[in-house]
Chains A and B, each alone.
Chain A
Amino acid sequence: MAAALAPISFPHPGRRALRRRLADFLGWGLCGLAFLLLGSATVWILVVIFLRGMSALHLNLLTQVTQGTAGGLLNAIEGTLVLALGGILLALPPGLATGIYLAEYDRGRLASIIRFLADVLVGVPSIVVGYFVYVAMVIAFGWGFSMAAGSVALAIIGLPYICRTSEMAIRQVPRSLRDAAFALGASDARVTFTISLPIALPGITTGILLALAIGVGETAPLIYTADWSNYLWTGHLTKEPIGYLTYVIYAFITQPFESAHALAYAAALLVTLFVLIIGVISRMLLVRSSRAL
Chain B
Amino acid sequence: MSKQNRKFRARGAALAALAGLGLALTTLLLAASTVNVSETGSSLLYPLFNLWLPAFHRLHPNVRITTTSSGSGTGIAQAVAGVAQIGASDAYMSPAQMRQHADILNIPLAISMQMVNYNLPGLNQRHLKLSGPVLAGIYMGKIRNWNDGQIAQLNPGVRLPSHSIITIHRTDGSGDTFIFTQYLTFSTPAWKNQINFATTVSWPAAPGNIGAVGNPGMVDALKNNEYSIAYIGTSFESAIHKDRLGTALLKNRDGNFLLPTARTGKAAAAQMVSKTPKDERISLIFAPGRESYPIINYEYAIVSRRQPSAAMAAALRALFSWAISPAGGNAPRYMHRVNFVALPAPVVKLSQAQIAEIH
Residue contact B216 to A230, C-beta cutoff 8 Å: no
Please tell me if A257 contacts chain B, counting CB pairs below 8 Å: yes
Please name all residues of chain A whose beta carbon is closer than 8 Å to the beta carbon of B38 when the two chains form the complex. Answer: 145, 227, 229, 241
- Chain A residues numbered 208-223 whose CB sits less than 8 Å from any CB in chain B: 223
Please tell me if B83 contacts chain A, counting CB pairs below 8 Å: yes
Residue contact B68 to A257, C-beta cutoff 8 Å: no
Contact A254 to B217, CB < 8 A, known contacts A69-B47, A230-B53? yes
Please tell me if A139 contacts chain B, counting CB pairs below 8 Å: yes
- Chain A residues numbered 33-50 whose CB sits less than 8 Å from any CB in chain B: none
Q: Tell me, in angstroms, the Cα distance from A257 to B337 when the chains sit together.
A: 10
Q: Tell me, in angstroms, the Cα distance from A223 to B78 when the chains sit together.
A: 13
Interface string of B200-217 (1 = CB under 8 A from A): 000000000000011111
Q: How far is the CB of B91 from chain A (nearest CB, A)?
A: 20
Residue contact A68 to B54, C-beta cutoff 8 Å: yes
Residue contact A234 to B31, C-beta cutoff 8 Å: yes
Q: How far is the CB of A260 from chain B (nearest CB, A)?
A: 9
Interface string of A224-236 (1 = CB under 8 A from B): 0001111100110
Residue contact B36 to A256, C-beta cutoff 8 Å: no
Residue contact A69 to B217, C-beta cutoff 8 Å: no
Interface size of A by CB at 8 A reads 26
Please name all residues of chain A whose beta carbon is closer than 8 Å to the beta carbon of B64 when the two chains form the complex. Answer: 230-231
Q: Tell me, in angstroms, the Cα distance from A139 to B84 when the chains sit together.
A: 12
Residue contact B213 to A228, C-beta cutoff 8 Å: no
Secondary structure type dominating chain B contacts: helix
Contact A255 to B70, CB < 8 A, known contacts A145-B38, A145-B83? no
Please tell me if A144 contacts chain B, counting CB pairs below 8 Å: yes
Closest B residue, CB atoms, query A259: B50
Residue contact B68 to A254, C-beta cutoff 8 Å: no
Please name all residues of chain B whose beta carbon is closer than 8 Å to the beta carbon of A243 when the two chains form the complex. Answer: 66
Interface size of B by CB at 8 A reads 34
Interface string of A13-55 (1 = CB under 8 A from B): 0000000000000000000000000000000000000000000
Please tell me if B235 contacts chain A, counting CB pairs below 8 Å: yes
Closest B residue, CB atoms, query A252: B69
Please name all residues of chain A whose beta carbon is closer than 8 Å to the beta carbon of B239 when the two chains form the complex. Answer: 256
Secondary structure type dominating chain A contacts: loop
Residue contact B66 to A230, C-beta cutoff 8 Å: yes
Residue contact A241 to B27, C-beta cutoff 8 Å: no
- Chain B residues numbered 53-80 whose CB sits less than 8 Å from any CB in chain A: 53-54, 57, 64-70, 78
Contact of A68 among B40, B53, B78, B236 (CB under 8 A): B53
Residue contact A230 to B31, C-beta cutoff 8 Å: no
Question: Which of A68, A231, A234, A256 has most chain B Cβ within 10 Å?
Answer: A256
Please name all residues of chain A whose beta carbon is closer than 8 Å to the beta carbon of B215 when the two chains form the complex. Answer: 254, 256
Residue contact B50 to A67, C-beta cutoff 8 Å: yes
Please tell me if A240 contacts chain B, counting CB pairs below 8 Å: yes
* A interface residues with partner B (beta carbon < 8 Å): 67-70, 138-139, 144-145, 223, 227-231, 234-235, 239-241, 243, 251, 253-257
* B interface residues with partner A (beta carbon < 8 Å): 27, 31, 36, 38, 40, 46-47, 49-51, 53-54, 57, 64-70, 78, 81-84, 213-217, 235-236, 238-239
Closest A-B pairs by Cβ, 9 of them: A68-B50, A254-B214, A229-B66, A144-B83, A228-B68, A230-B66, A234-B31, A254-B216, A68-B53
Name 20 interchain pairs, CB-CB below 8 A, sorted by A: A67-B53, A67-B54, A68-B47, A68-B50, A68-B67, A69-B50, A138-B83, A227-B68, A229-B38, A229-B66, A230-B65, A230-B66, A231-B66, A235-B27, A241-B38, A241-B66, A241-B68, A254-B217, A255-B47, A256-B47
